Each structure stands twice: as C-alpha cells, then as structure tokens.
Structure 1
C-alpha cells in the first residue's frame, strides 16, 4: 500500500510517542505490515518516504493521455490500434496498443458491445432530418390519423443473446465440475436458419389496429402486397378511421413498385413519405419485439410452424391498445433525430477544423 509522506510522518510520530504499532494501525487505518515497513525504513534511512524507484518511466504525457481519451470518445474509432496510429501521427509518439488500453482503463473507459442499426449515408441523414423538421409540430391528434404498418419475420428457434446461465467462473471450476461448463442447462443450441420462419404484416394507429396477416406460401411480392394487404386490410381499415387518414409504409421493394404506387393513386390513399432506412421512427417495431418476447416465454414453447403461427396471432390480439398508444411517441423520436444529427454534424465540423489547423503548413 502506497502512503503519502504526511501519513508516514503521522505513523512515526505516534510510535515515537509510545503507542504500539498495533494500536497505530487502527488509528491510521492501515495494516500492521505497512506500519512495520514505515518504522523499519525510518530506522535505517532516517527518511519518512521510500527511495526513488527504478521502474520504467511513463511513456505518455498528460496531454497525450487526454488525446487518447478524446479520440476514443469523440471520433469514430473502435480499436486501440487506430488510436495508437493517430497518436503517432499527431504527437509523434509510438506506443503499444497495450499502453492505449491502460490509459483508457485509467480513465474508466471500458469496452461494450456497440449499438447497431442500418447504415446511413449523408442523403439518408438529410432525409431523416427533413422529415423530422416537417413533422415536429404535429400534435397527438395529427399522429392519431396515421396508420403505421410494417412486416416482420419470426423464427421458430431464436438466439437473441439475452439468455444468461448460472455457474461458477471458469478458473474456479473444480475437477468434478469441469463438465458444468457444457452441461445442458449452461448450453444453448443453435438450429440452422432458425428452424423455419413466418412473416407477418400488421398496422396500428392510436385508437385501433389492423388484423395480423400471416404471409404464407412464398415471399411477399408487389402483386401479393396489393391483393392481400392493401385491398383486403388497409382499405377497410382506412374506412373505419377518422377523416383524412394517412397510411405509412416503409420503402421496401414490394412497397415501392410501380404496381403498388398505381393502386394507391387509383383508390385515393393518402400515403406518408417515409425516409429510407428509418425503422427506429416506426413505433410498431417496439410491438414486434414485445410479441417476440411473449411468444418465446410461452409454455410449452412452439415446436412447429403451425404452433408459432397460432401463438403470433394470439399474442397480437392480446396486446392492450393503451400499450400501442404509449409507444406512439413520435414527438420524442423526431426530437431525438434532430438532436443526434445536428450534434454529429456540429462535432464533425469542429473536428475538421481542428485537423486542418494541426496539419496546416
């Protein structure tokens, strides 16, 4: 344990005043061996601090430490090698990747799984920002006129990485417990292609929902989308909605085909222009996740596709409409889009100016 010179002086003074070393430990809050080392060093050298060590000197300065931390937090760098290369390029200091990791640990920066989402190009970000600014002043009454629709695929056997098992840590396993690492309760089996899957379509609004449609006998094409979805479900759903209802669909290929556009124009369906690669703006995505959890928690679990189909239909009908109304938080989603995009562009412009200043002749 490393003590400051003031603490060492306090220990030496207390012992010289006649107190025992054991009673000194309770007052100072250190171990008996630490007190003994301080007294022995004082008796041999007459000093209350240790001799200067001969260890390896620190290879980075305080400024370089700040550079390492700021690069990892503010720039799109995902590993220590890139930070090391950036440090060598700017400060001309060639250190190892282990040094970079140590500096990050000292700053309490740890490694986590990155958040994931669709790849967004500049045109996608511009479209998302334009959509958010155009609809940011919409009220709850305005959004209640929108029908949000989407398709989702559910596999018979899924491995979402959320399951956890309980066992001893690997270094603490006894010889008789070596098999517990691979025993059945601690092992999750994988089935190729999820054992089969089912695609479904649904639509929701603040006050009602459409029937869950199971898409069977092949994939969803533009003609099937017109006949089985738009004609049979979206049309009747819009009739029962309030006046001036708006239909929302994403930019999947079956949705953007000429056949679909012609049908929507012929039947006079008002369609919302939706920005590409924006599933996070669709509140129905939260319901897909909730249905998947409910189906997985059913007992007994679905063993064949017919049972999975029946479970999906049943869980969809069991969702409370208040739950659907709760996830329909479009104002919050649009505010987050504006905040995220504007802040990222602001940081990019600042970093661009900094780099041009550093490498200017």
Structure 2
C-alpha cells in the first residue's frame, strides 16, 4: 500500500505513517550510546525524487552521492551510508533479465532431455568445447550496482545497460583446458560472420584438430549470436570437419563459460583499480585474468552440466541460477 492509502485505512497522519514505515521498531544506538545519523522526512523525499529522476544518482556510490546531491554536506561518508541504510536504501546488482517464451522453454526442455540421455555423466562433457564472447570495460559494468529502496522491485531495473569503452574478448574452454582466447582489435569493427570466420575459426580449428590428433574428438558449442549461426559460418565450420552442438536460444545458464566471465571480471576488480585503467592496461588485465583462471575449477564447471540440465527440466524450462 502507498503511504496515503495506509493513512486513510488507519486514520493516522501522513507524517505518522512515514515515521512508522521508515523508523526502526526500537531505538538504535552505536556502542558509544549515540543514535546513528538519520535523514529528515524532507531529505528522504529529496533523495527518492533524485533517484527516480536521475539514473546517474542511482548508479553512484553513496560516498559520491553525498556530494552529487546538494544539501547533504552535514554528513560524513560513514554517517551518510548509515542514514541511507536506515532509510531503507540498498545497493544491489540488477539481474540479467532474459524473457523466455513458451517456445524457448519447450526448446530448452527438449535439449536438456536429449543431452542427459546422450551425456548423462559429468565426464561425458569434458570433450565439449564451450565458447563465447564477453565485453569488458574499465567501469563496473559487470557489477551494475544501483541504489534501490527496499520497497522497490529490483527486477524493474534489470534492463539498465550502458556500454563504455572496453574490449571484446572471445574465449573457449574444454574440460580443464583454456582452449583459446582472442581480444577483438578496435580496427576490426563489430563482429560479423566474415570476421568471425577470419579471426576466430582458425583458433577453434587448431584446437579441435590438435585434440583429434591425440585421439580425442571434440564437439564445439556456440550460442545463437548471428555471427555464429549465419549460413556462411555454419558452412565454413562444417567444411573444417568440426561437429557442433545445437544450442537452445537464451540459455546462458547452461554454458559454463559464463561463470568464467564472472570470475575474470571479479578478479580484475580485486587486483586492479579498474576505473584508472587505460585501454592498453585494461587489455593486459583481461589477458592476466584469463591466465589466472584455475584449470581444475574449469573441470568442476564442466562437470556441473548434467546437474544444470536436470535443474532446467525440474524448472520446466525456466532459467536457473548459474
């Protein structure tokens, strides 16, 4: 219910309703007996209006938000953070919002049932090469933290996107191996079928033929990006004698390399001051993160595929946590 609806139902004033909804049930104090800093009702309203009207305010860290909004210089950083929490605000990462139609769910269910029958054991997936691209930047794009009030729905902000300068990075894993990587050069422009065949397919072919020479046939997994499934790309990969795994649309939860991207981006954030990275140093950081990915962990990710398939079946084709 909105505040005015609560006031009408209870006979209380709007101020009483606001106080009851936003104040702790019991007085709180820190160890030194002082009450934590709190906003006035007018300050809460100003912050709420700023967050609703200005996406930049949503994205800013609270230490920076204090200076971005006028009239909050009476707070120190820690006091402002405490006041934000007391007022019901939180910093959260909006989830990736993937809309699944009935057709998508049906295709995912069919794929999971078929693959569980073909490859029921975790080790059966060690000869599947999982590949994908990711966009890495010198901002927190991979952790799109936003300020959300506890009464707001985080799903409503899932579509917030931005694309600052960065690098497109392609990678491939197979079992416990990092099977290939490639940083997309700026002068190549956007990825299309012709460029994918020229730059990426030789890396795929070299790895798979090398495994074949060792007596280990490998199946290639790609998602449904246009550069992957175009007629030219599919014809070229078939001409190389590479077997591909038909992949259901909108299924990042089934691809273990998505976990690798999360790991790499977190690793960069821990080991670098990412906002100070230049394009050149960011590229070196991406390559260092790829080199740091633990190989035994890659095997664990690969072995998780049967479990993921089963979870999708139990979820009737819906997305699962990954």
Shorter chain as denominator, the TM-score bin is 0.5 to 0.7
Distance 1:312 1:343 in 2: 32
Matched, 1:141 2:123: yes
Distance 1:342 1:215 in 2: 33
Match of 2:184 in 1: 215
Match of 1:340 in 2: 315
Matched, 1:226 2:197: yes
The answer to whether the Cα contact below 8 Å between 1:249 and 1:272 also exists between their aligned partners in 2 is yes
The answer to whether the Cα contact below 8 Å between 1:145 and 1:244 also exists between their aligned partners in 2 is yes
The answer to whether the Cα contact below 8 Å between 1:147 and 1:248 also exists between their aligned partners in 2 is yes
Aligned counterpart in structure 1 of residue 205 of structure 2, from 231, 235, 242: 235
Match of 1:126 in 2: 106
Count the aligned residue pairs. 208
Q: Which has the higher contact order (CA 8 A, sep 6+)?
A: 2
Distance 2:96 2:199 in 1: 32
C-alpha RMSD of matched pairs (Å): 2.7
Q: Highest Rg: 1 or 2?
A: 1
Aligned counterpart in structure 1 of residue 283 of structure 2, from 297, 304, 309: 309
The answer to whether the Cα contact below 8 Å between 2:137 and 2:164 also exists between their aligned partners in 1 is yes
After TM superposition, give the deviation of residue 268 of structure 1 in Å. 1.1
After TM superposition, give the deviation of residue 240 of structure 1 in Å. 2.6
Aligned counterpart in structure 2 of residue 151 of structure 1, from 125, 129, 133: 133
In the TM superposition, what are the counterparts of 1:94-105 in structure 2 within 5 Å?
A: none
After TM superposition, give the deviation of residue 261 of structure 1 in Å. 1.2
After TM superposition, give the deviation of residue 256 of structure 1 in Å. 1.0
What is the CA deviation profile of residues 137-166 of structure 1, one whole-angstrom value per residue up to 9, with x for unaligned ones?
4123321110000000012112524599xx
After TM superposition, give the deviation of residue 211 of structure 1 in Å. 2.8
The alpha-carbon distance between structure 1 residues 116 and 343, as it changes in their structure 2 partners (threshold 3 A), is closer
Gaps of 5+ in 2: 1-8, 11-91, 148-160
Match of 2:222 in 1: 249
Normalising by structure 1, report the TM-score: 0.53
Distance 2:207 2:194 in 1: 19
Match of 2:170, SS state, is: strand
Match of 1:240, SS state, is: helix
In the TM superposition, what are the counterparts of 1:263-342 in structure 2 within 5 Å?
A: 263-301=236-274, 302-328=276-302, 329-341=304-316
Match of 2:47 in 1: none
The answer to whether the Cα contact below 8 Å between 2:130 and 2:256 also exists between their aligned partners in 1 is yes
Distance 1:214 1:293 in 2: 18
After TM superposition, give the deviation of residue 338 of structure 1 in Å. 0.2
Match of 1:212, SS state, is: strand
Pick the structure with more strand per residue: 2
Matched, 1:201 2:170: yes
Gaps of 5+ in 1: 1-54, 57-111, 165-191, 345-361
